[in-house]
């Protein structure tokens, strides 16, 4: 099995306060298996090639868009004048954008489901932008790059504003494309959006399956296949993401127990165990580490 190397945030986010950075390849040569510490939106602006995930290969060409999550290794093969725009995002920024953009048709199918589907040999659907949408996306990437070069708080804020427009364009393009989306995807995405918007709410398997207009058995099977998690695990992780915001924001004066209750956990000890399992450290250690949320 080919060796995979890791691309670090330190080597790509030269301005450590910036939540997004742009990398361009006008003629991408074949590149071996690699992963990264950040999320990458890849927009193919020219040429064609083969994209490989593990041992599964798919052809890519102008207009294709891929979302590569940090733990997913991938490679490029047989490239022919392949031009790429790579939009690199810090993980915490993506998680916070999901809270605001998750309700858009196509958001979860593109940013959540697609990660698992690229590992499938028979996966043929993907987002392919029209010529007009590709031109618009390229313009907005130019604006993001210009603002990040300006630097400062104003530049970072405006870069995020352009990024929100870009992600909205991609999500809506995915949602309206009959060749890449399905009614089933949209229904499942709406359930996930409801969780993202109110993670502290009461979510039962029956209630979520009903919202998706599916039987519990079908919903459970499809949800796990699309996301890699059970519905219950997704709810827990959404609550943990909300807790991270509370622990690092203006609500830092809240006790750990208050944060737990605010995020839908009725037992602070259970909350702490789940937080450590998902995050790798306790809520208190996370708070003391000084991690910031959307401001990153």
Domain identity same for 209 and 67: no
Q: Are residues 247 and 120 in the same domain?
A: no
Give 126-172 pLDDT, tens digit per residue: 788 999 999 999 999 999 999 988 877 888 889 989 999 999 999 88
Same domain, 155 and 194: no
| Whether residue 19 is found in the same domain as residue 34 | yes
Residue 200 burial (C-beta neighbours within 10 Å; 0-12, 13-18, 19+): middle
Range(s) of the domain holding residue 226: 183-289
Is it the case that residue 124 has pLDDT exceeding 70?
Answer: no
Is residue 192 located within the same domain as residue 51? no
Q: Give yes or no: residues 18 and 145 share one domain.
A: yes
CATH number of the domain that residue 284 is part of: 1.10.10.60
- On whether the CB atoms of residues 291 and 244 are closer than 8 A, the answer is yes
Q: Please indicate whether residue 169 or residue 296 has the higher confidence score (pLDDT).
A: 169
In a domain, residue 77? The reply is: yes
CA distances, 220 to each of 208, 215, 226, 230, 265 (Å): 10, 8, 10, 7, 22
Q: Do 125 and 42 have their domain in common?
A: yes
264 contacts 239 by C-beta, under 8 angstroms = yes
* Position 266 confidence tier, pLDDT thresholds 50, 70, 90: very high
| Contact between 259 and 282 (Cβ < 8 Å) | no
H helical segments located in the chain: 9-12, 91-101, 107-108, 114-117, 131-150, 152-176, 183-197, 205-211, 216-227, 231-248, 256-262, 268-279, 283-289
Would residue 75 count as lying in a domain? Answer: yes
Same-domain status, 97 and 238? no
CATH number at residue 51: 2.60.120.280
171 and 188 in a single domain? The answer is no
> Residue 232 domain-assigned?
yes
Evaluate if residue 292 carries a pLDDT over 50. Answer: no
List, for residues 43-96, the tens digit of each pLDDT value.
999 999 999 988 888 899 999 999 988 778 899 999 999 999 999 998 778 877
pLDDT of the residue at 175: 64
Run of H or E residues at 31: strand 31-36
Strands 39-53 and 74-89: antiparallel
Describe the crossing of helices 231-248 and 268-279 by its angle, rounded to 10 degrees.
Answer: 90
Q: Does residue 296 fall inside a structural domain?
A: no
Q: Are residues 68 and 161 in the same domain?
A: yes
Cα gap 296→16, rounded to integer Å: 9
**286 vs 179: which has the higher pLDDT:** 286
Q: Find where tokens 């953009």 sit.
A: 101
- Residues 152 and 246 grouped into a single domain: no
Which of 29, 30, 42, 33 has the alpha carbon at shortest distance from 5?
33
CB 271 within 8 A of CB 70: no
Flag whether 247 is in a domain: yes
Residues 6+ apart with CB under 8 A from 251: 259
| Listed residues 132, 158, 176: the one ending a domain | 176
Q: Which of 153, 176, 199 is the last residue of a domain?
A: 176
| Residue appearing with tokens 């991690």 | 291
Q: Compute the radius of gyration of the chain from its Cα atoms.
A: 19
Q: Is residue 295 part of a domain?
A: no
Dist CA 115 CA 177 (whole Å): 18
Tell me which of 144, 176, 208 is where a domain ends: 176
Question: Which residue carries 């991408």 as its tokens?
Answer: 28
- Residue 234 within a domain: yes
What is the dihedral angle through the alpha carbons of 269, 270, 272, 278, rounded to the nearest 10 degrees?
Answer: 170
Residue 124: inside a domain, yes or no? yes
Residue closest to 102 by CA, chosen among 186, 43, 177, 226: 186
pLDDT at 148: 87
Q: Do 82 and 211 fall within a single domain?
A: no
Output the pTM of the full model: 0.75
Per the listing, tokens 């979510």 go with: 203
Does residue 248 or residue 290 have the better pLDDT? 248
The domain total for the chain is 2
**154-193-157 Cα angle (round to 5):** 0
């Amino acid at each position: 099995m080919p060796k995979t190397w890791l691309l670090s945030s330190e080597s790509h986010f030269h301005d450590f306060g910036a939540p997004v950075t742009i990398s361009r390849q006008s003629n991408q040569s074949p590149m071996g298996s690699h992963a990264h510490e950040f999320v990458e939106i890849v927009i193919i602006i020219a040429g064609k090639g083969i994209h490989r995930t593990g041992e599964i290969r798919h052809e890519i060409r102008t207009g294709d868009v891929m979302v590569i999550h940090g733990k997913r290794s991938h490679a490029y093969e047989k490239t022919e004048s392949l031009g790429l725009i790579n939009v690199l995002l810090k993980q915490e920024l993506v998680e916070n954008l999901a809270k605001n953009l998750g309700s858009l048709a196509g958001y979860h199918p593109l940013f959540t489901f697609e990660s698992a589907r690229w590992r499938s040999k028979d996966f043929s659907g993907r987002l392919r932008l029209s010529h007009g949408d590709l031109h618009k996306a390229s313009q907005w990437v130019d604006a993001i790059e210009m603002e990040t070069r300006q630097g400062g708080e104003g530049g970072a804020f405006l870069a995020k504003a352009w990024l929100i427009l870009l992600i909205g364009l991609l999500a809506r393009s995915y949602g309206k494309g009959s060749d890449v989306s399905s009614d089933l995807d949209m229904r499942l995405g709406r359930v996930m959006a409801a969780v993202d918007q109110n993670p502290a709410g009461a979510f039962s398997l029956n209630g979520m399956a009903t919202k998706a207009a599916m039987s519990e058995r079908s919903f459970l099977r499809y949800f796990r296949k699309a996301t890699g998690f059970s519905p219950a695990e997704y709810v827990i992780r959404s609550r943990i993401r909300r807790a991270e915001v509370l622990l690092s924001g203006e609500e830092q004066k809240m006790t750990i127990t208050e944060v737990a209750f605010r995020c839908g956990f009725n037992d602070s000890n259970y909350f702490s165990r789940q937080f450590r399992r998902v995050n790798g450290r306790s809520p208190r250690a996370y708070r003391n580490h000084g991690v910031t949320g959307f401001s990153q």
